[in-house]
Each structure stands twice: as C-alpha cells, then as structure tokens.
Copies of this chain bind each other. A is one copy, B any other.
Amino acid sequence: MPAFPPAIHKLVSQLASLPGIGQKSAQRLAFYILSQPADYASQLSAAISLARQDVALCSECFNLTETDPCEICRDEGRNHHTICVVESPADVAAMERTREYDGLYHVLHGAINPMQNIGPENLRLKELLTRLTRHPEVDEVILATNATVEGEATAMYLARLIKPSGIKTTRIAHGIPMGTNLEYADEVTLGRALAGRQQL
C-alpha cells in the first residue's frame, strides 16, 4: 500500500522531474513544502507559473526577458559594437557579474553536440548571422561558449562562418583559473595557458 497520499506522490514525482533532483531529494523538498505555512507553497507555486508566463526570448539576442527587446539590447548606454556569444542565459548572468563587459549578447541555447543530435540548425546561429548583416555597426564578436568539446567545436564553427564578413572574431582566454596552484592544473588547461601567454 502507498505510504503517502496521492497528492504527495504527485508532488514528489513532479519535483523529481527537475534536473539534479532525485527521488530522495524530491521527497525531502515535498515534506519541507508541506511543513511550511500555506503561504509558502502558494508563493512558490505562483513564482513558477508567473515566470513561465511572463518570460520569453528576446527577439534580438534570445536571452530570457519580460520585454522585447530585452533590457540589455535596449540599453543605449551599452556598447552596441560588440556581441558576446554564449550558450545559455545563465552565461549572460555570469558575464554580467564580472562587470568587465558592457556590450551586447547572443544566446545560442546550446552547443553543437552530434552525440545528442544537436546540430547548427538547432541553435540560434542563423539568427546571429542575420543580426550581423542587419547591424553593420558590430565590429567584434566574442565567442564565449563553454570550454568543453562542444563549446570549442561551436566556437570554431562560428568563427569560420563569420570570418568571410570581415568582422573581428575573438575567443575568450583559457588558462589557469585565478587562485589556483599550477601543480593542480590539468595538462590540457596548462597547455592552453602556455599557448595563450601574453607579454607583460
């Protein structure tokens, strides 16, 4: 016989469908939600449905936004000559946290991954190319895809596509992370750090 009433079963299985949440964590979360004041559950529930309802993709950069175009694309104070290409909206947030970048973004929503059947046609690549022809003021595209096999492949692919247009195409640097001892760096990273050395 089931140890839980159906409503809890349903909640647990819904929570367990989230990435990185297993059956046990889902159960723990469900019990936590049920142990809180009723307000808590209704606020959580409302935040989920409202976010899904109000948030869409910016038609320019494909970042998540509540307005179209998004705040970043509309911001006249930003540098509209540079576009930073990233894999996901979370990467935009990571870039913004550096406070070192004031240009625009382009979110691909993934990377080329033949193993998972994700080809260039599944990404917002074509949209980037039309955006570049529509905005001749763009003079640099920074490729900030992940330092993974897929991210590297996507960057290489994009660089080859953009090159004919004559727009400067750069890749973010790879090397030893700050605060890390050299002896703990893996050989691929150290190799990249060496190859990318810069004159002081």
Contacts and interface: CB of A to CB of B under 8 A. Distances in A.
Interface of A: 1-8, 10-11, 14-15, 17-21, 25, 27-35, 38, 40-55, 64-67, 70-72, 75, 88-90, 92-93, 95-97, 109
A20 B21 CA distance: 10
Contacts of A42: 49, 52
Nearest to A35: B109
Copies in the complex: 2
Contacts of A54: 5, 7
A52 B33 contact: yes
B43 A14 contact: yes
A10 B93 contact: no
Contacts of A19: 28-29, 32
